[in-house]
Structure 1
Amino acid sequence: MLVRIVKMTFKPDEIEAFKVLFEANKDKIRNVEGCLFLELYQDLRNKSVFFTYSYWKNETNLENYRKSSLFQKIWSSTKVKFNAKPEAWSVQKLVSLK
């Protein structure tokens, strides 16, 4: 399993528009083949900073999503709202406690 973490910083006047965009597309993203989990977080102190955490069956599934028309549509609408360059990491979960 692959965990994808993306940090995005938005222009303050674009925060609500991003939330609406995410809400409209979250189920479509989650239902992409190989997507096992999806969450969105907002920083407590800096309301312009968001993180997405998604779990993917494997790197091929993530790459197929990143090449899809769905991703292109969502990303083109999202990136114009940024206030800073996004950062992304693909990581392997080593430990998880509940």
Structure 2
Amino acid sequence: MSRLLIFAAALAATPAVAAEIEIEVQNFTSKNGIARATMLVKNTSNETIRDVYIDCAFLGRDKRAVGIGKANIRNLPARGDAYTDASLVTNDDIKFVDCRGIDGSR
């Protein structure tokens, strides 16, 4: 079975929607050398998603990627949601975050 990539992007705290997964960055901070994005991830399908892999690119003022933070959610139930966060240790001035999810169960 081929893998289906499901993308959801979030700049700052803007919600984004893609196919079966919605990712909304609900909190974004960058202080004391740690950038952190806290996300609400929703499964809009009628099936449990076994694995959701999330990569968050942390971006500087010029919207160029400084680094990637990762998150994983296991067994996201049909029509369910979960909170998770991704972080990056950096001394760079992080201003934005762009998060994308991959449905790893396909």
- The TM-score range, normalised by the shorter chain, is 0.3 to 0.5
Greater percentage in helix: 1
Q: Flag the structure with more relative contact order, 1 or 2, with Cα contacts below 8 A and sequence separation at least 6.
A: 1
Please state which structure has a larger fraction of its residues in strand.
2
Normalising by structure 2, report the TM-score: 0.33
Q: TM-score, length-normalised on structure 1?
A: 0.35
